[in-house]
Amino acid sequence: MSQNKIQIYKESDYLELEYKWYSPSAWFFLFFSIFWNAISWTIFGGMLSSGAPLFAIAMLSFHLLAGIGLAYFTLSLFMNKTSIDVTDNVFNMTHGPIPTWKKSHQYDIQDIEQLYVKKKIKIQKGKEKETIILRAKLTEGRDIELLNLPTSKVQDLQKLEEEIEEFLGLVDRRVQGEVPKSHYVDDEHAKRVSRSFTESPLKSVYFAEINDLICLNSEDHRLSNVVQYDWDDGDSDRRLQLLNYRNEERLIYLGQNGAMLNAYEERLLPLATTMDFNFSPADPMRKLEWKGEVYHLSKSKSGKYFAHAQSGESIDSWIYSNTRGDLLIRIEKIGSTNKYYEALQRDQSYFEDKLRLNNLDKEPQILRNGPDYSENDFV
């Protein structure tokens, strides 16, 4: 990578990249611009002093305008930089300080599916002209150009791509037509990173990251772990492990149903208490009884389970629901191990509308004494 070409400023919730347009080729444009403008303006002055026809002066004006444009472009190569600011919510790209023809970009980070570097070759006067471009694929299906400069090099733009994808948690997947790299994650084993949901408090909770503060019914909890389930039907569920200031654990399961999210508060059942289920993955029962409540099998799914690694494990899941739909028994099978979870549905109002992100210096404020659920909630 070119020395001092890219400046990186990174915090836990903020990434800023500065990409300088300057490269040694800018000196060629400088000398060519001086040469072009010196000749053009000298001729223009001579034509004015000699009383040349207006038509000839008008024709020369095109050369003068080209020289001015070339000088402006050259100045931008020496002074301009592209600034990329990424937060938990927004991707923003601007150019300056000299106003430029380059377009600024601003996107919701949830709309960005993948970044990649592409090489574009044009034939001009029998010679190949190569341009290196940073592009982005959006979840809506569009493929957009982010950065296209004549001075860009492959390693510089790939560095930008790497930094942004790492900050956003995007898996580096292969994109058709991109400049090849030595490392990719196989699509079959890669965790999904982009989801589209209707607006609700649960959307912010779903996209929370480790150490974020989440308010459950007026009590702050810190997110300590996230497990993601990518199902074969295209839905992706998440289970969040939360800890309050007393280090008490609460599990929140966010289940996706298309563009909708449903939230459940879970607890893992000890295996000794589940022996009466007589559950067999090879022949799952249609209904089961637990604490006097009858649960019917509502859905079964297969997919990938992501705990700590980008490469997932195979998982099968069965969900049993009571007649009201507010209590679930969720069974998951990973390898040869079965785990049983008891779940109570939580309304969206249970989650505070605003997610207080990365408030690491502030002690959680308890507005009510203790959690508001107990064993009786699961009866």
pLDDT digits (tens, 9 = 90+) for 243-263: 998 999 999 999 988 778 899
**CB 229, CB 315: distance < 8 Å:** yes
pLDDT tens per residue across span 60-112: 888 888 889 889 988 988 988 888 888 877 888 888 898 887 778 888 877 88
Percent of the chain at pLDDT exceeding 70: 84
333-365 as b/e: b if 16+ CB within 10 A? beeeebebbbbbbbeeebbbeebebeeeeeebe
Non-local CB neighbours of 278 within 8 Å, separated by 6+ positions: 285
**Do 342 and 229 fall within a single domain?**
yes
**Do 214 and 324 fall within a single domain?**
yes
Query: What is the per-residue pLDDT for 189?
Result: 52
In a domain, 285, yes or no: yes
**Do 106 and 131 fall within a single domain?**
yes
**Do 255 and 182 fall within a single domain?**
no
Q: Which residue has the tokens 């772990």?
A: 225
In a domain, 184, yes or no: yes
In a domain, 265, yes or no: yes
**Do 170 and 239 fall within a single domain?**
no
Tell me: pLDDT of 375 over 80.
no
Non-local CB neighbours of 201 within 8 Å, separated by 6+ positions: 348, 349, 351, 352, 353
Query: What is the per-residue pLDDT for 217?
Result: 81
Mean pLDDT of the chain: 81
> What is d(CA 328, CA 239) in angstroms, rounded to the nearest whole number?
15
**Do 317 and 370 fall within a single domain?**
yes
CA 13 to chain centre: 13
> What is d(CA 348, CA 262) in angstroms, rounded to the nearest whole number?
8
User: DSSP assignment of 64-132, as one string?
Assistant: HHHHHHHHHHHHHHHH-EEEEEEESSEEEEEEESS--SSPPEEEEGGGEEEEEEEEEEEEETTEEEEEE
> What is d(CA 246, CA 223) in angstroms, rounded to the nearest whole number?
14
Amino acid at 122: K
Phi-psi region of 278 (alpha: psi -120 to 50; beta: other; left: phi over 0): left
Count of domains in the chain? 2
**Do 260 and 168 fall within a single domain?**
no
Tell me: pLDDT of 364 over 60.
no
In a domain, 70, yes or no: no
**CB 333, CB 186: distance < 8 Å:** no
**CB 146, CB 93: distance < 8 Å:** yes
Tell me: pLDDT of 118 over 60.
yes
DSSP code of 190? Answer: B
In a domain, 12, yes or no: no
In a domain, 28, yes or no: no
Minimum mean pLDDT range among 12-16, 23-27, 295-299, 321-325: 12-16
Minimum mean pLDDT range among 123-132, 209-218, 228-237, 352-361: 352-361
pTM of the model: 0.50
In a domain, 16, yes or no: no
**Do 321 and 278 fall within a single domain?**
yes
What angle separates helix 54-79 from helix 25-50, to the nearest 10 degrees? Answer: 160
In a domain, 281, yes or no: yes
Cα distances (angstroms) measured from residue 74 to each of 26, 64, 78, 324, 350: 7, 15, 7, 70, 57
User: Which residue segment(s) compose the domain that 110 sits in?
Assistant: 87-193
